[in-house]
Amino acid sequence: MSENFIEHSENQNRQYIDAQALVRAHTLAIKASREVRGSMIWRELRGVRYLIRTSAASAQKTIGPDSEVTRKIYTDFMERKKASVERVKTLSARMLEQRKLNKVYRLGRTPNVVVKILQSLASAGLADKFLTVGTHAMYAYESACGVMVVPDALATRDLDLLFDSRKRLAFVSTLQKLDTSLIGVLRKADPSFEVMRGQLQTAVNNDGFEVDVIKRIATEGDPHPLCMSDDENVFWAVQVPADQEMLSGRLFEQLVVSTSGEMATMRTLHPLDFVRIKQALGNKPQRDALKRPKDLLQAKLVQQLWSEWLCHRQDAI
Q: What is the pLDDT at residue 99?
A: 96
| pLDDT over 80 (residue 315) | no
pLDDT value of position 263 = 97
User: Which pLDDT score is estimated for 239?
Assistant: 76
Task: Confirm if 237 and 165 have CB atoms less than 8 A apart.
Answer: yes
| DSSP tally for the chain: helices H, then strands E | 9, 14
233, pLDDT greater than 80 = no
| Nearest Cα residue to 155 out of 138, 167, 169 | 138
pLDDT-based confidence at residue 230 (cuts at 50, 70, 90): low
Statement: residue 235 has pLDDT above 90: no
**Helix, strand, coil percent values for the chain (each to nearest 5):** 50, 25, 30
- Residue 50 three-state SS: strand
The residue among 101 and 57 whose pLDDT is bigger is 101
Whether 213 and 158 have beta carbons less than 8 Å apart is answered as no
Residue 176 corresponds to which amino acid? Q
Q: Where are the beta strands (DSSP E) in the chain?
A: 5-7, 39-45, 48-54, 60-65, 130-133, 147-149, 158-163, 194-196, 199-204, 210-215, 226-227, 236-239, 251-257, 263-269
Which pLDDT does position 139 carry in this prediction?
Answer: 96
How far CA 186 is from CA of 152, 214, 257, in Å, comes to 27, 15, 18
pLDDT at 153 over 90: no
Cis peptide before 225 (omega within 30 of 0): yes
Of 7-11, 85-89, 128-132, 176-180, the poorest mean pLDDT is in 176-180
Whether residue 7 is predicted with pLDDT greater than 90 in this model: the reply is yes
Residue 131 in this model has a pLDDT that exceeds 70: yes
Q: Is the per-residue pLDDT at 264 higher than 90?
A: yes
134-138, 183-187, 244-248, 249-253: range with lowest mean pLDDT: 244-248
Which band of pLDDT confidence, cut at 50, 70 and 90, is reported for residue 219? low
Predicted local confidence at residue 17, as pLDDT:
96
pLDDT tens figures, 14-59 = 999 999 999 999 999 999 998 999 999 999 988 999 999 998 878 8
- When pLDDT is cut at 50, 70 and 90, the band that residue 250 belongs to is confident
Quick one: average pLDDT of 102-116? 95
3-state DSSP assignment of residue 167: helix
Q: Which residues have C-beta within 8 Å of that of residue 260, sequence separation ≥ 6?
A: 99, 103, 108, 112
Query: Which pLDDT score is estimated for 115?
Result: 97
Q: Which residue has the higher pLDDT, 249 or 103?
A: 103
| Separation between Cα atoms, residue 174 and residue 151, nearest integer Å | 37
Give the pLDDT band of residue 249 (cuts 50, 70, 90). Answer: confident
Looking at residue 241, what is its pLDDT?
A: 66
Query: Residue 314 pLDDT > 60, yes or no?
Result: no
pLDDT score of 238 more than 70: yes
CA distance 204 to 212: 9
Determine the distance from the C-alpha atom of residue 274 to the mean position of all C-alpha atoms in its chain, rounded to a whole number: 18
Res 311: pLDDT: 86
In angstroms, how far is the first alpha carbon of the chain from the final one? 22
Alpha-carbon separation of residue 45 from 38, 52, 63, 77, 204 (angstroms): 21, 11, 13, 22, 54
